[in-house]
Structure formats: structure tokens, C-alpha cells
Amino acid sequence: MRIKDAGLSVNPFNAHALRTFFRRSLRRGTFPRFDRSLELGRSVLDADPEFIAHREWFRQVLIESAREGNRVVGIRATLGGHWRSTGEFRTAIEAAVQGIREGEEATGEKIFGVLILGIRKSLTADEAENLLNEWLALRDDWKESRPDDAARLYGVDSVGEEIGIDPSLQAYVFAQADDAEQLVAYHIGELWELGGLMDALERIQYIVDHGAAALLTNPIALFVNAETLRGDLYPPAARRRIRIRQEQLWNQLANQPRVLEISPTSNEIMTRALRREEGWRLIPMKTFLNMGIPITVTDSAALRQIRTTVKDFDATVSTRAPGQPERKKLKDLTEQDVIDAMEQHGWTIQYAADALGISRPSMYKLIENNSQIRRVEQIPPEEIRTQLNATDASIEQCASRLKTPSEALRRHLKGLGLIA
């Protein structure tokens, strides 16, 4: 199975809970209904000695995924608290694999399912290693008697709360998984403390430099447009440092065989809350595809749900190959289309061009002919000073008020001596 063949990759607990109990909030930790439903689901599974509900959950994920037209489904699961008992852990895996097989049979074997073990970042290194060893021991036991099921124990994923976690502590465990020919994935860079985006980038940097990961899941920190961050949380110097680190990582990833995975159901509630508080927008996906960075979007049902509420994903997700973006005719784009794209992408020309599906030179032409957009050198310096002060030195917000591209504005502000 190739990574790009996977059409869906979710934790079945979260997939069903999110679908039923999805809600929004401005702060983390204020999702009592979601938390209660999730804990209820886990308690039902934990209290199910024959793992009937457990098995049915996996069966339903296969069936639902097949309805979406997917050929392969990789299901992440931490398997609750069963890892603390070898017997229960094996029984839980047996039930999951049986559910996957039943799902395949129910669809006429139009889909193939594999299991990816979630190893929580909060585990000690010894606990994580013991869990991996149990997983690999079961796979090896099955290789002779049940080779098809052995092949379903396909990979491991670093999951759970990443804030305050040192990724180096479990690094050797995932290196062992890689040596054992398991797919290694990391949920990394998808959550951070308010004002702590650089910390998330540092965690991604460690995994890129030292980790065995073939798949980086939901590294949202890589996709944040630094120009759109709130100025009171991220002063100009902090935003510049973030952009420099992002560009370093982009260049590394363009030359590595790793895949970036966007998984909309992964911590989506928390990510939304953080996004609201920090004010950031996403860089268009085509920007990364054009760099040659491989990206996959999983969970097609959730993706459609996200598309109805998050304009950035709707405008930027593309399944085209790198270097082959869909091009639009300039005559089909209105002045307001151009203004909207610039607004959505921090008045950054390249990002707006990518979102519209046009080249950068074409974007320059549209900007030149747009009656609402001004050349920065034609704007009175006093007006620029006024808007810069009013936006707390946020280049993106100042550019939005002045209706001028942010790159040119930054250069002009340096020339005026208003920023360093």
C-alpha cells in the first residue's frame, strides 16, 4: 500500500464523536459535551468484555469509508486503556481487526483496511517501547498463521497532547518501529500555547532533523501565514523569525521523502479555537504543491464538512500534481475576486495568486488594473504612519487598510525608517 492510496485516516472515537457533538469555543478546555460523549464512548468500550461495540466501531468506519469511494482506509486507534494489560491489548487488536474484516466483507471487499497504533506522547519512553513491542510481537505471531491480518498491523503514530512534550524522549521507540518496517507517523505542530507558534515549529524541526517519520500529520504551524498573526501576540520581529523558520522547513521537506498529511478531524475543535484567538489564516495548499512538497488530505467526508466552514481549505485544497496547478482565465476574475484573495491571504501576492489559480505575473497585471488597489509609493507617508499605529505595527492589517500589497509595504516602511 502506498501512502497516497489511503483515503481516510481517523481515530474512530473522534470521528463519531465529532460528527455528533461538534461545537465551537474561543478557549481550550470548554467542550464539556464533547468530552462527556468521548469519555462515555471510551467507557462503553472499556466495559465491553467481548469487545462487541469495539468491533462494530471499526466495521462502520470501513463501510462509511467505502461509501466515500476510498479503496484503502488506515484507522488510527489508541485502543483506550487496554495497552496496560497484555491480554486485553491483544484482545482489543483482535476485535479491531475482526471489525475491519467484517467491514471489508460488507462492502464486497471493495476496500482494504489497516490498523495504525496510536502511541500517546504522554507515555514514558519505557511505556511506549513496551506498547510497541506488544504490537510487533502480535504481528510476528500472525505472520505464519494469519499473514493477511499481520499485514493489517501497518504502522504507528505519535498522538495526543504535544504542548510541553519533548519529542526526543520517544524518538528511539519510533526508530525501532521504522526498523520493523512499520509506517511511522507523527501528529506534530498542530497545537501550541497562545503566542507559541515558534515552539510548534521547533517540535516539527526536531522530527524533520531526527525523527523516523514518513508522515507528518496536521503540521498546521507550517501552513500559518505569519503575516496574519495578531500583532499583540507576535510583534514584527517574532513574525519574521517564524517566517524564516517556516521557509527553512519548507526547503528541507521539498528535498525529503516525507509526506505532509492534512487530517481535518484531528484536533479540529482545538485548532479552531486557537485560530480564532491568534487570528491567523492558512497559506494556500498550492503554494506547497508547487514547491514539490508532497501533501495528502485524508478523511474525505470530514473534508467536505470542513470545506463548508473554512474558506481557506475550500479555496486551496488541490489534488493536482506538483507543478500542474489549475489555471484560470484572467477575464473570468473580477476586481472583487482579486481583493478577496488578497484579504484572505494577508495581502501577499504569491499566496493570493496560488489561491486564484493564476501565475504571479498575471496577478501583478490584475493588481495594476484594479481600481481599489494602490501602489504604496503613491500613498502619503502620514496616512501610512496613521494606519501602522492603528494596527499596532501589523503589516498585514496595515496593508489591508491601505489596500496595497504587504511585501511592497514592508520594503517601503523600512525605507521610511518606520520598521527595522
Q: Determine the average pLDDT of the residues in 277-296.
A: 83
> Would you kindly state where each structural domain of the chain is located, as residue ranges?
3-316, 330-416
| Among the ranges given (54-68, 90-104, 152-166), the one the predictor scored with the smallest mean pLDDT | 54-68
**Beta pairing partners, 153:** 115
Taking a C-beta distance cutoff of 8 angstroms, is the pair 268, 14 a contact?
Answer: no
User: What letter does residue 52 receive in the DSSP assignment?
Assistant: H
Per the listing, cell 496496560 goes with 84
Instruction: Spell out a b/e string for 124-145, using b for 16 or more CB atoms within 10 Å of the CB, else e.
Output: eeebbbbbbebbbebbeebeee
Lowest mean pLDDT among 9-13, 58-62, 174-178, 213-217: 9-13
Average pLDDT over residues 32-37: 38
For the entire predicted model, the pTM comes to: 0.66
Residue 53, pLDDT score:
72
pLDDT of 83 strictly over 70: no
Length of the chain: 420
| 350-379 average pLDDT score | 85
Average pLDDT over residues 5-28: 33
- Is residue 394 within a helix (H) or strand (E), and if so which, with residue range? none
For residue 20, pLDDT beyond 80? no
Confidence of residue 324 (pLDDT cuts 50, 70, 90): very low
**What dihedral angle (degrees, nearest 10) is formed by the CA atoms of 15, 19, 20, 23?**
110
The three cell numbers locating residue 56:
462494530
CA-derived radius of gyration, the chain: 23
Q: What is the pLDDT of residues 160-177, one digit of tens each?
A: 889 889 998 998 899 899
Question: Three-class SS of residue 371?
Answer: coil
Per the CATH hierarchy, to which homologous superfamily does domain 3-316 belong? Answer: Metal-dependent hydrolases (3.20.20.140)
What pLDDT is attached to residue 297?
A: 65
Distances (CA, A) of 206 to 142, 190, 209, 399: 34, 15, 5, 34
pLDDT for the residue numbered 345: 84
> Measured between alpha carbons, how far is 163 from 166 in angstroms, rounded to an integer?
9
Distances (CA, A) of 108 to 9, 18, 67, 98, 101: 21, 28, 12, 15, 11
Q: Is the dihedral of CA 152, 19, 4, 219 positive or negative?
A: negative
Range ranked top by mean pLDDT from 3-12, 29-38, 277-286: 277-286
Q: Which residue type does 195 have?
A: G
* Residue 36 confidence (pLDDT): 41
For a pLDDT cut of 90, what percent of the chain falls above it?
A: 30
Mean pLDDT score of the chain: 77
What pLDDT, on the 0 to 100 scale, is given for residue 79? 66
The x, y and z cell numbers of residue 181, run together, are 518496517
Other beta carbons less than 10 A from residue 314's beta carbon: 13
Minimum mean pLDDT among 18-32, 48-62, 405-419: which range?
Answer: 18-32
Least confident of 113-122, 254-263, 318-327: 318-327
Q: What pLDDT score does 50 carry?
A: 65
Residue 375 in this model has a pLDDT that exceeds 80? yes
**pLDDT for the residue numbered 56:** 82
Amino acid, single-letter form, for residue 78:
T
Residue 194 has pLDDT above 80, yes or no: yes
pLDDT for 256 beyond 70? yes
More confident residue, 303 or 418: 418
